[in-house]
A and B are shown apart, each in its own frame.
Chain A
Amino acid sequence: MPSTKSQVLSPIPGVFYRKPAPDKEVFIKEGDAVKSGDVIGLVEVMKNFYEIKAETDGVLESFLVNEEDILDAGQEIAVISVQ
C-alpha cells in the first residue's frame, strides 16, 4: 500500500525542543513508529511549554528543524509517513 505524508506544524512561534529536559532522551527518533496523540517535541513560548503532538498514526520519517531552532507560527516541524 502506498504511503502518504503528513506534516506536523507548530501552531505557535517559539523555541523547539526534542527532549523533555536537557539531560533526557528525545521524545522520538526518526524512523520510530508514532501514534496519534504522541508528544514528539516541545515549543517554549513566553516561559510556557507547549506539547507538539502527532495527529496521525505512522512512522516519524524526519524532523525538519533542529533542537533549539526558533520557529515561526505554522512552521513545519516533522513529516510522518502514513501507511
Chain B
Amino acid sequence: MSYFSKVLIANRGEIARRIIRTCHRLGIQTVAVYSEADAQAPFVSEASEAVCIGPAQAKKSYLDVEKVIQAAKQTRAEAIHPGYGFLSENPQFAERCEAEGIVFIGPSADVIKRMGSKLEARSEMQKAGVPVVPGSAGQIGSVEEAAALAEELGYPLMLKASAGGGGIGMQLVRDQEELEKAFHSTVQKAESFFNDGAVFLEKWVADPRHIEVQVAADRFGNVVHLYERECSIQRRNQKVIEESPSPFLDESLRQQLLEAAVRGVKEMGYTNAGTMEFIFDGDKNFYFLEMNTRLQVEHPVTEEITGVDLVEWQLKIAAGHELPLRQEEIKKAGHSIECRLYAEDPKTFFPSPGTINQLQLPEEEVRLDFGVIEGSVVSPFYDPMIGKIIVHGTERLEAIKKMEQALAEIEVQGLKTNLPLLESIMRNDQFKSGDYTTQFLEKTEILS
C-alpha cells in the first residue's frame, strides 16, 4: 500500500538518504532538494528527482522556506518530509505547506509552536501531571523579580530562554551576583537569536542523565511509546552515543517514565512521531525537559529493538492512517547502540571539514546510516556528523562488543574524525558498567 506517490525531502546527508530508502521500498517517488555545495552528494543521485535550491549557506538554501515550497510545487510532490534540524521545527514552514495543500510530515504548526516555547511546554506538561524541573511558572519581567524568585527556589539555578535550544540561551547562576550579571545578556541573546526575549528560572540539576521516550500518535487519538533511549554521552550539549534500553532504568521506573511521556503527548494533541526528553537526577527523579516534534538523529536504536520503521510510520500517520500497532503489540528485543561519527578533532571537538580520500566500512552485523561515500567533500557549511554506526545484540555487553568490532573496521582518510574517541568509550569500564551521566566526557580522561 502506498501512502503518497511523491515525497520531497527537505534535508540533506544521511537523513535524506535514510528517508529516501524507506520511500523507495514503499514505492514512493522522492524529490531531493540540494544546495550548490551538495551537488555531488549521494542523496542527490539516489532520489528519483533533484532540485537545486541555492547556494551553500543553509539560510540561502535548506532554510529558505519559499525555495523549498517552490521545489515541491514544481515537482508536484504531495508531501514534504523535513528530517531533523533545518525547517523541521519551524511552525511557519508547516503553515506554508498547509496553505499550499502540501502535507507536512510532522505535527500541526500549532503544536510545533507550543512545544517550541519551553514555558508553554512546561505548563502543558504540568497540567498533564508530567513532572517538570522546579522553577518559575511564567516569564520573568525584571532582574528584581528574578532575584526574588531565585531566593524562593534556592541556588544554583539555570536561567533559560523560553525559545532557546541546542544549549544556546541558558546560563548557570550560583548566586545573586551571577544572576544579576547574566540576566540582561540572556534576555538580549534570546531576543537576537530567537526573536523572543522571554526567560525563566529552573533548579539546576547536577550531573543528570538524559533519557528520552520515542512516541507516536495518529489523528484518531491513539498514542503509543516505543520505549526509551539513553542519550547521556554528550559533548558540547550534543549527543555522541545513544542506546536503548537505558542501563539506568529498572522495570518500574521505566514504566513510570513511559506512562508519563504518553500522558503528556495525549494532553497536547500531538500527531506523528516525536520525542519527549527527560533528565534524571542522582536520586532517580525524572523531569520533562522538552519535546522534539520531529524524527530524531538517534531513531535507529529504537528501530533496531522494536523492528518498527519509524519513517514508514511517519508517512502512514501523515497520510491519515491509524497507527499500525497498539501499545501491547509493540515489543522490544535485545539492545542497540548508535555511535555518531563526527568530522572533528577527537580531543578538542574542533570541526574538520575536508575531502574523504578513503573510506572503509564494516559489512556485517552493523547498520550504517552514512551521508558520505569515498570521495565526498565534507563542507564547512553544515553539521559535522558524517554518519551513524548502529549495532544490535541480544544484551548490552554483546552490543558493545559488536560496536567495538565495527569501529575497528572503519577507516577514514582525508579529515579528522572522532573515531578514536568512540573506540575508547567502548573500551571504557565506566561506560561498560552503564553508570554514566551527561558529564561523562567532561569528567573522564578517555583519550590519553
Contacts and interface: CB of A to CB of B under 8 A. Distances in A.
Given A13-B353, A15-B57, A47 B382 contact: yes
Given A45-B351, A45-B380, A46-B351, A68 B192 contact: no
Given A46-B343, A68-B57, A70-B57, A21 B193 contact: yes
B interface SS class:
loop
A38 to B, nearest CB: 20
B56 interface: yes
Nearest to A14: B380
Given A15-B57, A68-B57, A46 B382 contact: yes
A48 interface: yes
A45 B56 contact: no
B410 to A, nearest CB: 20
Contacts of B344: 46
A23 interface: yes
A12 interface: yes
Contacts of B381: 14-15, 46
A54 to B, nearest CB: 21
A22 interface: yes
B350 interface: yes
Interface in B144-161: none
Given A12-B380, A15-B381, A21-B192, A46 B353 contact: yes
Contacts of A22: 192
A25 B57 CA distance: 22
Interface residues of B, number: 14
Contact of A70 (B56, B350, B353, B384): B56
A24 to B, nearest CB: 7
A24 B382 CA distance: 24
A36 B274 CA distance: 49
B95 to A, nearest CB: 23
A22 B59 CA distance: 13
A66 B343 CA distance: 27
Nearest to A12: B380
Contacts of A70: 56-57
B353 A45 contact: yes
Contacts of B351: 12, 45-46, 48
Nearest to B238: A47
Name the residue among A12, A22, A46, A47 with the largest chain B CB count within 10 angstroms: A46
B150 to A, nearest CB: 27
A75 B193 CA distance: 28
B383 interface: yes
A13 B353 CA distance: 8
Given A13-B353, A22-B192, A23-B192, A46 B383 contact: yes
B303 to A, nearest CB: 26
Q: Looking at B56, B381, B382, which has the most chain A CB atoms within 10 Å of its CB? A: B381
Interface string A59-80: 0000000001010000000000
Contacts of B192: 21-24
A46 B383 CA distance: 5
Nearest to A72: B380
Interface in B350-371: 350-351, 353
A46 B380 contact: yes
A69 B160 CA distance: 32
A15 B58 CA distance: 11
27 contacts: A12-B351, A12-B353, A13-B353, A13-B380, A15-B57, A15-B380, A15-B381, A21-B192, A21-B193, A22-B192, A23-B192, A24-B192, A45-B351, A45-B380, A46-B343, A46-B344, A46-B380, A46-B381, A46-B382, A46-B383, A46-B384, A47-B382, A47-B384, A48-B350, A48-B351, A70-B56, A70-B57
Interface of A: 12-15, 21-24, 44-48, 68, 70
Q: Shortest 8 CB-CB distances between A and B: which pairs?
A: A46-B351, A46-B384, A13-B380, A21-B192, A45-B380, A14-B380, A45-B351, A23-B192
Interface of B: 56-57, 192-193, 343-344, 350-351, 353, 380-384
